[in-house]
Each structure stands twice: as C-alpha cells, then as structure tokens.
Structure 1
Amino acid sequence: MSDLIDFVYPSLLQLYKDKDYFAERAILAPTNEVVQEINERLLGLFPGEEVEYLSSESICQTEEAKNPSNGKLYSPNVLNGLKISGLPNHRLVLKVGVPVMLLRNIYKHNGLCNGTRLRITKLYRRVVEAEIISGGNIRTKMYIPWISLTPSNKRITIKFQRRQFPLSVCFVMTINKSQGQSLSRVGLYLKCRVFLHGQLYVALSRVKSRVGVKLIILDKDGNVTNKTNVVYKEVFSKI
C-alpha cells in the first residue's frame, strides 16, 4: 500500500499545495469500506490541523407521525452510526488542501454536481470553501453549505434526515464514483474482487496511458497476487 500511495501521490508533503496536483490522480477500490480505510490513512499523513464536523440526525416528520414508536426505537446514536452509500458520515474530518468529492447536486450550472472533485481552501463553522479540480469549472472557488440530506437507498426502512456537508475525502474513491473521470495516474487496490467484470474495465479505462496505472491484487488470504477473476479466459489463448 505504501508503494501504491507513493506511485499515485509522489512527494505528497512537498507538492500538495500545487493547485493541479490532485486534479488527475486517484486511488480506486471496489468498496466504500476499503475507500474509507485508505482515506483515513492518507488524511493522517496529510499536514495541517484537523477540523471535525458532526452531523445532526432526525426522523422525518411524516415517518414519525406514521409510527410514533420510531422516535424511541431509532435514537440519535443509532442514526449517527448509519453509514450509507451516497450519504456523508456522521463524523466528517477535513483539512485545508485535502481533495474531496461532492455527494449531491447543488448548483449544476456552476459545476457543483454529484461526483465533482474539489480541493479544500478554507474551513468555517457552517460553510466550506473549496476549489473545483474536475469538470468544466476547474479552479472556480465555491462555498459548500451545511444541508439536510435524505438517503435515496430504498432498502433503508425508515426515512430520516442527516444535516451535514455533502462531502467525502477522496484521495481514494470507489470505482463507480470514478466514472467520467480522466486521470493520468491511477492506483487500483483490489483487496476484494470487483462486483462486476465491467467495473474492472471502468477502473482501467480511467487512466490515459499504461504507464500511469499500477494495481495491487490480494487473494482471499490477504497476500499479493497477480490474478483476478476473469470470465472469458479464451481471450488470452493467443497472447
């Protein structure tokens, strides 16, 4: 993992202030759990003071009116602990200079869409200032507000709101979130197998050249290997 970090983010401590440094670099992984694990590791290495933002959760009024017992069953501690794809975590830790990804559409005409990557420039109590580093509005400074978010996942049996900044640290991102990105340096970390074979294609096609990609593949015992799941092995028969 240290080799992969050095490959994607060489001289991180010396070059992180360069406005273009994070624009075309990313580590990709299949699952949110792995993404968060590596992001926390890189955030710890990143210089500067941490600023912690804790969300506020509440059950939607219509849901509470429908079933008053939900208010007692789903305490704030339970709601705080829910980690849902597309929703920022209850505890969000940021530093000035860190790359982040927007998790919701806010101002589409200004480039603030779901999946837009930004670099933190200033941290305030109720708003975050950040500079866009992907898409058509690169280097534009925007203010990200503290907003109420509702999970879109239909498997969540209760409707609740989380008031938080719609951001996640994105030294590392999931393969799905990388769709549409054009990168010059990509590290692909396969701690577990990809869900779909199309995901591997998406990950490898994010990078502009072969020299710009490096993979780490682990087997079921956690050892480094050079094999991954391939469906149509006959495509390699004449290579």
Structure 2
Amino acid sequence: MCFIKPDDDVADLLRKTKLIIWDEAPMNHKHAFEALDRTMKDIFKCEITFGRKVMVFGDDFRQILPVVPNGSRREIVNASITSSYIWSSCKVLMLTKNMRLTVGANASDIEEIKAFANWLLELGEGKIGGSDDCEVVIDIPEDLLIKCSEDPMSDLIDFVYPSLLQLYKDKDYFAERAILAPTNEVVQEINERLLASFPGDEVEYLSSDSICQTDQAKNQAHARLYSPDVLNGLKISGLPNHRLVLKVGVPVMLLRIIDQQNGLCNGTRLRITKLYRRIIEAEIISGGNIGTRTFIPRISLTPSDKRIPIKFQ
C-alpha cells in the first residue's frame, strides 16, 4: 500500500471528519495503519496518534491474519496490528450479543441458536478439546454430524438442498442456503455434483489468455517453456479456473466488484437466467437489489501471485 500527499480537498475533508471506521482491520498489514498515522500527523501537525482523529478498527481477530507470502508464523504475527506501536493507543471493545443470529428468529429457536453460537465461539478460541498446541480430539454435537454413510458428500448436499428439482426455480431457496468447504478442490467437487442435479444442457466457458504487454520479451521467453495445457491447469489465487460450466437456474457468487452502485459486489449471489456465448444474464438474489436482472461480461484479470513466473490475463 502506498500513501501519497493528499491534495487540499482531501486534507480539508479529513479536517472536517469526526470519525473514521476501518473495517477488516486484523486482515491488514500493520504498515498500512502506520503509514496512515504518519500521514494524519503531517496533515494536522499533531504528534498524537492519527492526528487526534477518532479511529474505529472493526472485525474479528479470529479471522485470517495479514497474508505474508511464504512467511513463517512469527512473521505473520509480527505483521498484525497488535504488533504495531499503534496498538498501545487502542482500546479494545468486545461485542456481547449476537444480533445477527437472534433478530427475526422465533422465541423457541433463540436458545438453540445461542447454544450453537457459544459452542462455535469456544471452538474458535480453542477452549474445546483441551489446551494442547498439537492435535486434539473435538466432540461434534450429534445434530451437526452426518452419520456413517457410504457417500457423506451426497448426504450433505441432500441435507442443505432438499427437494432441489422441485424448488430450484425459487430464488429464496438458494438465498438461504450455502455450503462452506475447506479447499477449492472440495468446492469444485461439490459444484460438479450439484450441477449434475440440475436439469438442462451444460454451457462451457473457457478462458482466453494472452501475454501481458508489460515486460513482454521476458514473458514470451517463459511462454515457450509452458504449453497451453499446463497454463490452463494452473489453480491461481485470484483467478478463476480455465473451464467454467454452467446451467440455467444454478446459483453463482461474484468474486469481484463489478458495479458497486447496482449491487454487483464481492459475495453477491445471483441465479443464472440465460447463458449466451460471450455474456451471462443473471438475477440478483441477495443484498439490496434482489430481483434485479443484470449481465456479467467477460473480464480481464491479471493474477498477482508472484510464484507464477509468467504474467497472463
């Protein structure tokens, strides 16, 4: 992250600002906070942290810490805001009531929801299964277990998506359901199984890769070393797979911010309504634009993974 000297308009806006909220703070590198701190001190000519402006760092420290490529545990912890000189000026405030789980729930379900939330919280804090830093045995509640089965994944899909063929046209059906998976390989397997359950013909979309114009001579030399089959088989962070198969009616989720004003943001859920050769028509089923029809075109993406010796888009 690079900070530049703000112009007069930005500086004037900062002077009028009473409160600054920084979301997902634990996931950001401490250098980002320290750079902003130095910038604010320069603007307001004040040596107090953030130039005396009130800062609110939001989010959960149980989530992933700042990503340090090939970094050790010590380097990752050292990159966290808790290792910054700013942390000594912070006051920790903790939420005590889970509003998201209880608002809108039936009175008979609130206690059960609270019990599950408390169990999940203790699991995340390492209070279940002992204090050993190595492998521990954790007892999963009976109601969360898939009993002995020949095909547990199929049982999981049937549990989360019951009566799929009868209800797949209902947009609320998919808006209320999701399956979380630990790895992209498991995600791919679940997607393939679910896709096979939908009626209709499959439509295949393949990526169209080209060498970036920057540093072209170097990239062309690398391109001669790797066949298209090898490049198309790469699973790169921040880049979709080479082959995408869809059907009309299937739910999808955006991984990029396309049009924030119209609700097309990272994490927005949609249901496919039509599949064209170069564009996809879908209906938004989550957020504040539910029911809106939109078009998703092809998008040029360049991976930022430095482990890949060749740049392509």
- Whether TM-score is above 0.5 comes out as yes
The Cα of 1:106 is off from its aligned counterpart by 0.9
Given the alignment, which residue of 87, 92, 108 partners 2:244? 92
* RMSD, aligned α-carbons: 1.4
The Cα of 1:58 is off from its aligned counterpart by 1.6
**Contact 1:63-1:158 at 8 Å conserved across structures:** no
| Cα distance in structure 2, aligned partners of 1:69 and 1:61 | 13
Residue in structure 1 matched with residue 272 of structure 2 by the alignment: 120
The Cα of 1:85 is off from its aligned counterpart by 3.0
| Cα distance in structure 2, aligned partners of 1:156 and 1:71 | 12
Given the alignment, which residue of 218, 228, 231 partners 1:76? 228
Residue in structure 2 matched with residue 168 of structure 1 by the alignment: none
The Cα of 1:63 is off from its aligned counterpart by 3.1
Bigger Cα Rg: 2
Q: Relative to structure 1, is the Cα distance of residues 65 and 32 closer, same or farther in structure 2, using a 3 angstrom cutoff?
A: same
Residue in structure 2 matched with residue 62 of structure 1 by the alignment: 214
| Cα distance in structure 2, aligned partners of 1:52 and 1:7 | 28
Given the alignment, which residue of 268, 281, 289 partners 1:137? 289
Structure with the larger strand share: 1
1:13 aligns with 2:165: yes
After superposition, give the CA deviation of every residue in 1:11-44 in whole Å (9 maximum; x if it has no partner). Answer: 0011101121100101111111111111111111
| Cα distance in structure 1, aligned partners of 2:176 and 2:304 | 29
Give unmatched runs, 5+ long, in structure 1: 162-239
TM-score where L is the length of structure 1: 0.64
Given the alignment, which residue of 47, 56, 65 partners 2:199? 47
After superposition, give the CA deviation of every residue in 1:153-205 in whole Å (9 maximum; x if it has no partner). Answer: 333332110xxxxxxxxxxxxxxxxxxxxxxxxxxxxxxxxxxxxxxxxxxxx
The Cα of 1:2 is off from its aligned counterpart by 2.3
The Cα of 1:140 is off from its aligned counterpart by 1.0
The one-letter amino acid of 1:103's match is: L
The number of aligned residues is 161
TM-score where L is the length of structure 2: 0.49
| Cα distance in structure 2, aligned partners of 1:145 and 1:67 | 27
Matches within 5 A, 1:198-237: none
Structure with the larger helix share: 2
Q: Secondary structure at the match of 1:138?
A: coil
| Cα distance in structure 2, aligned partners of 1:2 and 1:67 | 44
Q: State percent identity of aligned pairs.
A: 84
The one-letter amino acid of 1:137's match is: N
After superposition, give the CA deviation of every residue in 1:120-143 in whole Å (9 maximum; x if it has no partner). Answer: 000001110001112221111110
